[in-house]
Structure 1
Amino acid sequence: MGELPATYVEGFHDKEAVLRMPYRVLGKTGLSVSIISLGASSLGSVFHATNEEECIELVKEAVRSGINYIDVAPFYGQTKAETVLGKALKVIPRQAYYLTTKVCRYGATPEDMFDFSYERAVKSVDESLARLNVDCIDILQVHDMEFAPSLDIVLNESLPAVAAIKAAGKCKFIGITGYPMDNFRNVIEKSKVPIDSILTYCRYSLNDTSLLGLLDFLVERGIGIVNASPISMGLLSNRGPPEWHPATEEIRVACKAAAEYCSERGIDIAKLAMAFSLAHTTISTTLVSTSSIANLRRNLAAVTAVLTEDEKAAMEHVRKEIFDKLSSPHWEQKEVDKYWEQRGGKPQSA
Structure 2
Amino acid sequence: MRDNPLGRGTLRVSELAFGAAGIGNLFIPVTDAQAEQAVSAAWESGVRYFDTAPHYGLGLSERRLGAALRGLPRDEYVLSTKVGRLLRPRKEATGDDLANGFAVPAAHERVWDFTADGVRGSLEASLERLGLDRIDLVYVHDPDDHAEQALTQAYPELERMRAEGTVGAIGVGMNQAGLLARFVRETDIDAVLLAGRYSLLDQRGLDELLPLAAERGVGVVVGGVFNSGLLADPRPGATFDYATASDALVSRALEIKAGCERHDVPLRAAALRFPFGHPAVVSVLVGVRSAAEAEDAAAMLRTPVPAALWDDLKERGLLPAGVPTPEETG
Q: After TM superposition, is the score higher than 0.5? A: yes
Partner of 1:103: 83
2:174 to 178, 189, 209: 178
1:273-322 CA distance string (max 9 Å, x none): 1232345443111101111211211211123211369xx54x65556546
1:74-128 CA distance string (max 9 Å, x none): 1011111101001101111101201110000356678845322222221110010
Summarize the alignment of residues 117-128 of structure 1 with structure 2, pairs less than 5 Å apart: 117-128=115-126
TM-score (norm 1): 0.75
1:67 aligns with 2:47: yes
Partner of 1:155: 151
Q: Given that residues 224 and 284 in structure 1 are in contact (C-alpha distance below 8 angstroms), is that contact kept between their aligned partners in structure 2?
A: yes
1:15-43 CA distance string (max 9 Å, x none): xxxxxx12221110232221111111111
Change in 2 beyond 3 A, CA 1:23/1:303:
same
1:207 aligns with 2:201: yes
Partner of 1:303: 301
Which stretch of the first structure deviates more once superposed, 125-134 or 43-52? 43-52
1:198 aligns with 2:192: yes
Which stretch of the first structure deviates more once superposed, 243-252 or 182-191? 243-252
Q: Given that residues 259 and 268 in structure 1 are in contact (C-alpha distance below 8 angstroms), is that contact kept between their aligned partners in structure 2?
A: no
Partner of 1:143: 141
2:213 to 201, 209, 218: 218
Q: Secondary structure at the match of 1:173?
A: strand
Summarize the alignment of residues 20-169 of structure 1 with structure 2, pairs less than 5 Å apart: 21-105=1-85, 112=110, 114-148=112-146, 151-169=147-165
1:257 aligns with 2:254: yes
**1: CA distance, partners of 2:75 / 2:265:** 39
1:283 aligns with 2:311: no
Q: Secondary structure at the match of 1:70?
A: strand
Q: Given that residues 55 and 110 in structure 2 are in contact (C-alpha distance below 8 angstroms), is that contact kept between their aligned partners in structure 1?
A: no
**2: CA distance, partners of 1:97 / 1:278:** 21
Change in 2 beyond 3 A, CA 1:229/1:295:
same
**2: CA distance, partners of 1:268 / 1:302:** 8
Q: Given that residues 180 and 192 in structure 2 are in contact (C-alpha distance below 8 angstroms), is that contact kept between their aligned partners in structure 1?
A: yes
Which stretch of the first structure deviates more once superposed, 60-69 or 151-160? 60-69
Q: Partner amino acid for 1:50?
A: V
Q: Partner amino acid for 2:224?
A: S
1:247-289 CA distance string (max 9 Å, x none): 7636643455336646986864222212323454431111011
**2: CA distance, partners of 1:133 / 1:322:** 49
Q: Secondary structure at the match of 1:211?
A: helix
Q: Partner amino acid for 2:119?
A: A
Q: Given that residues 118 and 157 in structure 1 are in contact (C-alpha distance below 8 angstroms), is that contact kept between their aligned partners in structure 2?
A: yes
Q: Secondary structure at the match of 1:284?
A: strand
**2: CA distance, partners of 1:101 / 1:251:** 36
Q: Partner amino acid for 1:182?
A: G
Q: Partner amino acid for 2:203?
A: T
**1: CA distance, partners of 2:38 / 2:138:** 23
Q: Partner amino acid for 1:201?
A: A
1:53-78 CA distance string (max 9 Å, x none): 12112212322432111111110111
- Cα offset, 1:166, TM superposition: 3.0
**2: CA distance, partners of 1:201 / 1:220:** 20
Partner of 1:18: none
Aligned residues: 298
TM-score (norm 2): 0.80
Q: Given that residues 195 and 223 in structure 1 are in contact (C-alpha distance below 8 angstroms), is that contact kept between their aligned partners in structure 2?
A: yes
- Structure having the higher strand fraction is 2
